[in-house]
Amino acid sequence: MRIAIVNDTVMAVETLRRLLTSVPGYDIAWVAYDAKSAINRCAKDTPDLILMDMIMPEMDGVEATRVIMQQSPCAILIVTADIKKNSAKVFEAMGYGALDVVSTPIMGISEDPQLNQALLKTIVSIGIVIGRLNPKRSSGRSGNSTNKSTSHQSSYPPRHLPPLIIIGSSTGGPKALARVLGELPPNFEASIVIVQHVDMQFSSGLAKWLDEQTPLSVTLASEGDRIREGKVLLAGTNDHLVLRPNLTLTYTKEPQDYPYRPSIDVFCESVAQSWSRKGIAVLLTGMGRDGAIGLKKLRRRGWHTIAQNQQSCVVYGMPKAAVEMEAAIEVLSLSEIASTLVKRVTHIP
């Protein structure tokens, strides 16, 4: 995998360079010490992955991400020492297409092996998603949950269950989610569960940030929670969110080798097994194929399924996979999704 480094600090660049060159199969494509240089270098030589600093003079990592994803898109991982201070910038960068965020690793006397391993682990996951490492593992399989029996449907009468909307998203997801949730009315009757590909260290901040963008209440899904009308729950760990047959939420590590965590497919399939009422499932912008299989299974159960269209996606990966699999009944622009949810939610059988 060819990896570029964008950072205005010489020490950080050398730390990243040493860490990457210690791993077979990773090559340094180029190094840029400011955002404008990175944009120019990327246009001439687009790498597989960019490690992008957040805080830089003149132009920050947010704007650099926006421009690169417009002009010469590629996988971007934000690597910064100021994650908590700049959580709003983190979600803004993810809204423009950054895949994830990790803390800048440290070498020397203050070296933290956990930071080093966190970065390398995230790069491996991104490599799997973009098909550069062990692509067979990202072929659309979603582990054990795919083959589970669907004979354990909930005994709760469908009409006793609230209307349920599932929204899955990844690259560009935070901004798209804020747009959809922000256009829903405060008296919206449905319950919403969101599965966004984001590391657990940012999920709490994402929930708070989304809560500020919408009149609805957005909180992290906790162990034992129930799906309730008018509430928005966000998957909040690096494990997969699933719905038990008793209609409580829990988290599971299985399938462990699935590159998308938390997985949209895994959650959708658990809902297909345990939720007896039909609902609406939406797949927003994102890199990879997660969510397409889950959407297909829900469509077969009678759910109304929606994929975001190519023109309004930051990355037309997951919705494209759903369209190609005929998993989506409707393909809508981002501006059409909220109004469609409002119209359709009262007609859920």
Active site residues per annotation? 170, 197, 290
Number of helical (H) and strand (E) elements in the chain, helices listed first: 11, 14
Inter-helix orientation angle 173-182/200-213, to 10°: 30
Dihedral sign (CA 256, 258, 259, 260): negative
| 263 closest CA partner among 290, 237, 283 | 290
Per the DSSP assignment, residues forming a β-bridge with 218 are: 232
**CA distance between the termini of the chain:** 48
Sorted by sequence, the CB contacts under 8 Å of residue 65 that are 6+ apart come out as 52, 76, 78, 93, 96, 97, 98
Are 337 and 306 within 8 A, CB to CB?
yes
CA angle (288, 289, 295) in 5-degree steps: 145
Do the Cβ atoms of 26 and 70 come closer than 8 Å? Answer: no
**Residue 108 CA from chain centroid, whole number:** 33
Reduce the DSSP state of residue 48 to 3 states and report it.
Answer: coil
Tokens 């829900």 found at: 298
Rg of the chain in Å (alpha carbons): 20
Q: The tokens of 88 are what?
A: 């709003």
